[in-house]
Amino acid sequence: MTIAQAAAQSIDGFRTWFEHDEDVGGGVRPLFDAIKTQVISRCRVLQQLGLGYLTIDREATTLSSGEAQRIRLARIAGIGLRGVRYVLDEPSVGLHQRDTGRLLDLLRALRDEGNTVLVVEHDDQVVREADWIVDVGPGAGEEGGEILFSGPLDRFLGVDDGSGARLLESRTRGFLRGEERIEIPERRRSGRGALTVRSLSKHNLENVSATFLLGAFNVVTGVSGAGKSTLVDETRRLVEACGTRRSVFAARTTTQSSGDASVETFEPVDKVIDIDQAPIGRTPRSNPATYAGLSDRVRDLIASQPVALERRYEKGRFSFNVKGAGATRAKAQA
């Protein structure tokens, strides 16, 4: 095979080819034998994490968040180090429950090889699997900062910490014990119409169609890598191509952006707001206030003060992104 043909294979197919190597010529045999074990080992880890269907030449930017997370884990798991402390921040984010089980298999394997695994996590599957739990709370921000519990799961679910002292109140414990829960709604909305996408093909989606209710809460679910993000993102692209920026989108179809795909609805769609996992802000100085538009209101207020008006300071003078803005603010306050 050429390198392009090899890269076009799935991880499953690539491993099979390395394991059944009758076609390898004598001239490259020594090099092939030198890398064979390592290639098969890395493919095995990816397969254990449920990624055997991915083609090797798949662009990283097209991976779902769950797929990208598991590839990062496969990279560290394939190194085979021992005596290492691994720190993972919410590794189950974006994973289906089935894939969370595979994640736990990998974390257990890392531990069993003599490593320490430290995980920040909310998923109850992961919490229940831990050998040791540290619960922080009781709330967020100023209401947090306390260590509520440190110990094994059975003590965490009990009423004391083993010393006879009553455990501090914990929302985490309440949910794990079933004392708190997210209630299932008694009635569902029927929506105010539907938006239907037809004949959509991209990545592993082949000529699929789907309907979403307008004016309702829609959830797209399935195992990691099934095509959920692709379906939603391509539907968004089609809707935008229909002219939503002109606030006119009713009973239209288009063949733009995805081959023969089309989208149709008989209810107006004003615009599409895409909220993804990309970092907020455009500069390192961005913060929640600047991103949410709060800083604009504050700058308007400061620029309206008598001293600012007297000195003809525009609100841009009070921006974090303007050189000398700090000195300007100090003068205005004076």
Three-state DSSP at 175 gives: helix
Give me the number of domains the chain comprises. Answer: 4
Residue 87 covered by a domain: no
Which pLDDT score, from 0 to 100, does residue 251 have? 46
User: Could you tell me if 252 and 215 lie in one domain?
Assistant: yes
Spatial strand order in the sheet of 205-213? 205-213, 194-202, 262-265
The whole domain housing 308 covers 288-333
Residue 66 covered by a domain: no
Which pLDDT score, from 0 to 100, does residue 161 have? 53
User: Could you tell me if 297 and 329 lie in one domain?
Assistant: yes
Residue 55 covered by a domain: no
User: Could you tell me if 145 and 203 lie in one domain?
Assistant: no
Which pLDDT score, from 0 to 100, does residue 262 have? 80
User: Could you tell me if 201 and 225 lie in one domain?
Assistant: yes
Please identify, among 151, 182, 213, the residue that sits at the C-terminal boundary of a domain: 182
Q: What is the pLDDT of residues 183-236, one digit of tens each?
A: 999 999 998 888 888 888 888 889 999 999 999 999 999 887 788 988 998 888
User: Could you tell me if 255 and 204 lie in one domain?
Assistant: yes
Three-state DSSP at 207 gives: strand
User: Could you tell me if 171 and 211 lie in one domain?
Assistant: no
User: Could you tell me if 157 and 202 lie in one domain?
Assistant: no
Residue 189 covered by a domain: no
Given a contact cutoff of 8 angstroms between Cβ atoms, the answer to whether 305 and 332 are in contact is yes
Give, in order, the Cα–Cα distances in Å from 298 to each of 96, 286, 290, 319.
42, 15, 10, 10
Residue 95 covered by a domain: no
Instruction: Name the token pair of 112.
Output: 């069993």
Which pLDDT score, from 0 to 100, does residue 134 have? 95
Give, in order, the Cα–Cα distances in Å from 295 to each of 213, 291, 321, 329.
36, 8, 12, 14
Q: How confident is the model at residue 37 (pLDDT cuts 50, 70, 90)?
A: confident
Long-range contacts of 286-291 (CB under 8 A, 24+ apart): 290/320
Q: How confident is the model at residue 85 (pLDDT cuts 50, 70, 90)?
A: very high
User: Could you tell me if 255 and 200 lie in one domain?
Assistant: yes
Which pLDDT score, from 0 to 100, does residue 247 have? 41
Residue 76 covered by a domain: no
Residues contacting 31, CB < 8 A, separation 6+ = none
Given a contact cutoff of 8 angstroms between Cβ atoms, the answer to whether 287 and 281 are in contact is yes
Residue 206 covered by a domain: yes
Q: How confident is the model at residue 302 (pLDDT cuts 50, 70, 90)?
A: very high
Residue 167 covered by a domain: yes
Q: What is the pLDDT of residues 86-136, one digit of tens each?
A: 998 888 887 788 888 888 988 998 899 999 999 999 999 999 999 999 999
Percent of the chain whose pLDDT exceeds 70: 88
